[in-house]
Amino acid sequence: MPLINCNNIALSYESRTVVKDLSFDVHEGDYLCVVGENGSGKSTLIRALLGLKSLSHGSIVFSEGLSKNEIGYLPQQSGIQKDFPASVYEVVLSGTLNSSGFLPFYKKKNRLTAEENMEKLGITDLKNACYKELSGGQQQRVLLARALSATKKLLLLDEPTSGLDPIVSSDFYRIIEKLNRDDGITVIMVSHEIKTAIKYATHMLHLHRNHSFFGPKEHYLECNDCKKLLEGGSDNV
Amino acid sequence: MFDFLTETFMLRAFIVGILVSLTSALLGVSLVLKRYSMIGDGLSHVGFGALSIAAVFGIAPLAVALPVVTVAAFLLLRLNESSKIKGDSAIAIISTGSLAIGIIAVSISGGMTVDISNYLFGSILTMSHSDVVLSTILASSVILIFVLFYNKIFAVTFDESFSRATGIKAGGYNSLIAVLTAVTVVVGMRMMGTLLISSLIIFPALTSIRIFKSFKSVIICSSILSVSCFFIGLVSSYILETPTGATVVCINIIAYIVFYLISYVKRKLLQHRRSAS
């Protein structure tokens, strides 16, 4: 049984239908890359998967092994305020809140999870640093550590590398790949850097209003849409 | 010289003042960071409207103000979430609207009574025993609830979409913040006056953010700052014979300037050290 089953879904954004008749499955361990033009509904799809947005048609079914508080999410940077006073540790620790239920305070287990994930992403020495004073790449690592503190199974990333320089950005892709390969975390990533994204993905979802493509990467590379995108030469697809 | 500190009215003022300063400092941090600074101001105007109407009908002011202000707080947050009316205009509509109603009610009830002017400008030194008991209960509950939900309030304030996505009921916590703010404003009105209560909510948070960089340190600093400013303000208002609420606000302004200067000097020193190395 797939981890996530999207059956014939339609999504609308400000009363305009952006995605129609879309069906796809995500299995455990998949690395799904979502691409498409601006306004094609990539972020809307992510929000729908997270349950933040209701579907106008169809259904999204999660497998029994995956409950809503086991999803790690890396939002677009713009959602976070630039001048918020928060230490790295506070931010990462807040990712573990979903597993602590109604308990008012963090348990030792939560602290250990947060520390493990900071270690994994190489930000342990930034523990007490102020989030807003970090570089863009460091901030993304912090948010990724927070997402990992919320999940061991599924990561949803919404354009995680926008605004990062190419070196930092390719570092970031390598971290994600490692999490997918070594820790078996399922990854769903929205990206506009199609050339880099396609290198690591196992499956591709190309959103287009009436004929979206979904399938393994190998099939996608042979289809015309993909060639058009890749030949377009720019990363801003 | 400090004999007056042991007078009953002074003791009452201290108890209520310290509790109200604490609650407003705690909530202030979330409100300022959520860009809701003006909600306190808007709500206090709603409070004024409610008090005036209570005066017309001769009902106990707090009994009317508390529910009305709470409803207004919900409305403001709801309006903030829907995009049809932007947050700041929503506050403007609700606050000027209630001010207008309040003014009409005041003129019907035969002009400014002492009671209404007390709420307008604050009168912490004339609080009755029952005022003190009620304020103490309300303020302590706000502090307790805030501490219990501290981690969730942080998460929701820092990144609402992440919180929602990982299954935290962000809407519920926003409502909680709204209710706590409403209670703080209503209790604080008696002490600071409807015209000044929002400064008690905003100043300590803004001042602490100048220097402190983690959420916890900002919360702790705001609390200490708010209580100290209140203490200094109350004592100096007694000595200088100035209105208490306004004096507390002035002390807060001085604290803000001091913190601003410290952060400015720190930044300059840092730049200097960087360019030297």
* pLDDT (tens digit per residue) in B39-48: 888 999 999 8
Contact state of A86 with B215 under an 8 Å Cβ cutoff? yes
B202 or A209, greater pLDDT: B202
B48 or A193, greater pLDDT: B48
Quote the pLDDT of residue A236.
43
Token duo for residue A129 = 């640093």
Closest chain B C-alpha to A53 CA, distance in angstroms: 10
- Position B244 pLDDT exceeds 80: yes
Percent of chain B scoring above 90 in pLDDT: 42
- Position A12 pLDDT exceeds 90: no
Contacts A85 to B, Cβ<8 Å: 33, 209, 212-215, 217-218
Whether residue A197 contacts residue A189, with contact meaning beta carbons closer than 8 Å, is answered with yes
Candidate from A73, A104, A130 with C-beta closest to B162: A73
Q: What is the DSSP secondary-structure string of B60-125?
A: -HHHHHHHHHHHHHHHHHHHHHSSSS-HHHHHHHHHHHHHHHHHHHHHHTTS--HHHHHHHH--GG
B117 or B232, greater pLDDT: B232
What is the rounded CA–CA span in Å between residue B58 and residue A76?
A: 54
Quote the pLDDT of residue B85.
63
Token duo for residue B208 = 């602490």
Beta bridge partners of A22: A9
- Position B54 pLDDT exceeds 60: yes
Q: Which residues of B198-209 are buried (b: 16+ CB within 10 A; e: fewer)?
A: bbbbbbbbbbbb
Interface test with B, best of A88, A97, A103, A110 (most B CBs within 10 A): A97
Quote the pLDDT of residue B20.
92
Percent of chain A scoring above 70 in pLDDT: 89
Strongest mean pLDDT among A59-63, A128-132, B32-36: A128-132
Contact state of A85 with B152 under an 8 Å Cβ cutoff? no
- Position A66 pLDDT exceeds 80: no
A21 or B264, greater pLDDT: B264
Query: In the structure, what pLDDT confidence band is assigned to residue A197 with cuts at 50, 70 and 90?
Result: confident
Chain Cα centroid distance, residue B244: 15
| Spans of all domains in chain B | 3-276
Return the SS3 of A87.
strand
B86 or B191, greater pLDDT: B191
CATH code that applies to domain B3-276: 1.10.3470.10
- Position A233 pLDDT exceeds 50: no
- Position B182 pLDDT exceeds 80: yes
Contacts B166 to A, Cβ<8 Å: 68-69, 71-73, 95, 97-98, 150
Q: What is the ipTM of this complex?
A: 0.85
Mean pLDDT of the region A103-126: 89
Please count the other Cβ atoms lying within 10 Å of the Cβ belonging to residue A184. Answer: 11
A183 or B228, greater pLDDT: B228
Contacts B151 to A, Cβ<8 Å: 93-94, 97, 104-106
Quote the pLDDT of residue B167.
79
Q: Which of A53-57, A74-78, B91-95, B266-270 has the lowest mean pLDDT?
A: A74-78
- Position A38 pLDDT exceeds 70: yes
- Position A94 pLDDT exceeds 70: yes
DSSP assignment letter at A130: B
Quote the pLDDT of residue A230.
63
Mean pLDDT of the region B183-197: 86
Nearest to B237 by CA among B45, B14, B8: B14
Mean pLDDT of the region A192-205: 83
Handedness of CA B13, B14, B15, B17 (dihedral sign): positive
Mean pLDDT of the region B59-77: 86
Contact state of A87 with B33 under an 8 Å Cβ cutoff? no
Closest chain B C-alpha to A35 CA, distance in angstroms: 21
- Position B80 pLDDT exceeds 80: no
Contacts A130 to B, Cβ<8 Å: 213-214
Helix (H) or strand (E) holding A58: strand A57-62
Quote the pLDDT of residue A227.
67
Quote the pLDDT of residue A28.
87
* Domains by residue range for chain A, with CATH: 29-54+69-209 (3.40.50.300)
Quote the pLDDT of residue A228.
67
Percent of chain B scoring above 70 in pLDDT: 96
Token duo for residue B49 = 């409207």
What is the rounded CA–CA span in Å between residue B221 and residue B51?
A: 33
Strongest mean pLDDT among A175-179, A226-230, B10-14, B221-225: B221-225
